[in-house]
Each structure stands twice: as structure tokens, then as C-alpha cells.
Amino acid sequence: MITIVEAKTTSELKKFVKFPFTIYKDSPYWVPPIISDELDSFNKDKNPVFKDADAWFFLAYDGDKLVGRVAAMINWIEIKQQKVKKMRFGWFDFVDDTNVSEALLQKVEELGKLNDLEYMEGPVGFSNLDKVGVVTEGYDHIGNMITWYNHPYYVHHYERLDFKKEKEYLENKFPFSNVKPEFFKRIQALIKKRYNLKEMNFTKTKEVMPLADEMFDLFNESYASLASFVPINDIQKEHFKKKYISFINPEYIKFVLDKNDKIIAFSIVMPSFSKALQKSKGKLFPFGAYHLLQAKKHSKDVIFYLIGVHPDYQNKGVTAILFNECYKTFKAKNIENCIRTPELEENTAIRQIWKNFDPEIFRRRRTYRKNL
């Protein structure tokens, strides 16, 4: 018999965070999170998302054996301001037993009905900067720190339990050798002259921080038209600055400014920490921090985390300026592979941006929905 327990204490939440380490211990593709960072994400006193969200964390037991977990979330901004009555769920991992996955999802469903919501969707996080989607193709590629990885059997559980596909996401990559500067070098110079724009580069993280709030504001404007977008509020900005920007090599952050020195476009690229995180096994000490620092400085793979362009400048070739600056930095550092984070299949505009680099889709993922 499957028993569901809500994780409330620090000890129970540690079990919640550490559970995937058990079912993926032999996987060469799973990338573990940093345990302390994950715990902070679930701490109501440390993660400002809880100012506008509620969350419940459930553990599934078969006798005394831990066999699954799920987080159930309500984002009240989404519900009250956007009128999207959605019950979110994520961090959903389980052994290959439908009794386990069904019992966990029943708890999510109960909370959704209790709060008079219309449907449940997952796996998703609290916001658009969290991980998203269950992998449906591309299991033989290593994951990364900003996506979930899962066993192939996960998909069958959703389908057996009458969940329907909600959103499809694509992950692409291309070798840096595919990047030909003739596609953007000349045009970026013309675009800068036509619109009176200029690039901005960084060498130190402390140079980025004073501009980070403005960048997140631009992120909100750039992505507002996409389905399920929930804007980042001021409190969350502070949290994300600490959580993400410290991980990024500042040389990989590129801004484009207008004549008034306002940011109208940005790109954030992260070194790949996948191998470093596997070596760290979820811990910063004694050697985890060293592995991460080495990857930050020397990784030959980079992940295009975010690109944002102000709506007034979209479809005007501004990304050519960003690509030109990235090209110069990556060439100097002998970067070998460029990887893109999950992008909505419906986001055809983003695919147009990358078409000249001949990217290949190496993984697909999706979210699933069930009406309540």
C-alpha cells in the first residue's frame, strides 16, 4: 500500500530533495542539483516566490521505502491577475509503479479542487525561470542544471493516468564551428548605425549587478506575449540575482543599449556545469565548489539561457549585435558547443533567430494537463 506524507520538517525536505539521487544513481545523463540550493528554493523564509505562491511537498512510501515525490504549487499572481486557474506541479519523480505516480498526483488534484482551480499542469516550477517539462525524446543526452531529466517510463505514467499534452518544448544545439560571422558581422554594424545602438560587455560580476533589475524588467516585457508567462516581481529579482548571476561568467552577459543608455536587448549565456555537478554529487564541500569554479572558467560548452529584445526592437536584426559580441568572446575561449534551453514549439520567432547556425533538435519535452 502506498502512503503519502507531506514533507514539512527540514529532515523531510532533505529526503524530498535527495530522492532522485536514488533512482538516477547509475544514470550517466542525470545531473544532480546542489542540495543546499534546492532546499533554499523550498524555504519560505529564503525564496521570495512564496510572497505570491503556496507550495506543498509530498513523499510517497511503500512500507518504509521512499518511492516518489511531488511538489504542488499555486502561483496566485497567475490566478488573480491573469485569471489562469491552474494547479502547478513539479519535482515529480517516482519508481516505475503507477500506484505511486497516481497516489502522488491525487494529492495535487485534491489541492486543486480544494482551491477551486480548473486544471493541473506539470511538470513546471513556480515561474518561467524554473525548470519545465518531462523529457519525451533525447534520453541519451546529458542534462544540465536548468532542466529536469527523467527515465523514459515517466511519459507512460502520464498517459496511463489520462493526462493530455499541454505544451511542447524543443532543445537545440550546434557546434560553434557552425557559427559563421558573415551572417551577422556586417548587418550588426548597420543596425547599430540605423538605430543608434551600442553593445555593452562585462569582465566582472559586480559590473552587471547595478543593471540586473533593468534587465529583468526587459525580460518581463520581452516574454509577456508567450503562453503561461508569469512576470518576475521586484522581490524575485533580488533572489534571481543571487541565485543565477553569480554562476555566470560575466563575459558571457551581453547588453545592447539605445542612445539613452537604456537596455533594449540582452543575452545570458552560462557555462555548462553538467559534468561539474555530476562530480560534486550535489554538495559544494569539500570539492564541489572547486569543480563548479573550474567549469565556470574553462567549460568548452555553453548554454544560451535567455535572450530578450524589447518589443519595439523585435524583428529589426538586433540579435545580430548580441551574436557578434558572443562570437568574439567564444572564439577567444575556444568554445566547442552551443546549447539552447527548452523553447516553446510555438515560438517560431526564436527559431528564426538561430536558423543560420544549422541547429539540431536533440531533445523534446512537454508538460501534461488534466482538467479538475
Q: What is the pLDDT of residues 188-215, one digit of tens each?
A: 999 999 999 999 999 999 999 999 999 9
Reported confidence tier of residue 306, pLDDT bands at 50, 70, 90: confident
Mean local confidence (pLDDT), 275-302 = 92
Mean local confidence (pLDDT), 324-338 = 97
**Whether the predicted pLDDT of 100 surpasses 80:** yes
Report which of 124, 144, 145, 149 is spatially closest to residue 243, judged by C-alpha positions: 145
**Whether the predicted pLDDT of 74 surpasses 90:** yes
Distance CA 319, CA 184 (A): 9
Reported confidence tier of residue 258, pLDDT bands at 50, 70, 90: very high
pLDDT at site 228: 63
Reported confidence tier of residue 29, pLDDT bands at 50, 70, 90: very high
**Whether the predicted pLDDT of 66 surpasses 90:** yes
pLDDT at site 177: 96
The reported pTM is 0.92
DSSP states along 175-223 = EGGG--GGGTHHHHHHHHHHHT-EEE--SSHHHHGGGHHHHHHHHHHHH
Q: What percent of the chain has pLDDT over 90?
A: 78
For the structural domain made of 2-172, what CATH number should be given?
A: 3.40.630.30
pLDDT at site 128: 75
Tell me which of 163 and 235 has the higher pLDDT. 163
Report which of 322, 210, 197 is spatially closest to residue 266, judged by C-alpha positions: 322
In this predicted model, what pLDDT tens digit does every residue of 332-371 receive, in sequence order?
999 999 999 999 998 888 888 898 899 999 999 999 999 9
Mean predicted lDDT score pLDDT of the chain:
93
pLDDT at site 247: 75
pLDDT at site 230: 74
Span between the terminal Cα atoms of the chain, in Å: 25
In this predicted model, what pLDDT tens digit does every residue of 40-55 receive, in sequence order?
999 999 888 898 999 9
For the structural domain made of 174-361, what CATH number should be given?
A: 3.40.630.30
In this predicted model, what pLDDT tens digit does every residue of 221-239 receive, in sequence order?
887 776 667 777 777 787 7
pLDDT at site 227: 62
Distance CA 90, CA 128 (A): 13
Q: Where are the domains of the chain?
A: 2-172, 174-361
The H-assigned helical ranges of the chain are 10-23, 35-41, 76-80, 98-114, 153-160, 185-195, 205-208, 212-223, 234-243, 274-280, 288-298, 319-332, 348-354
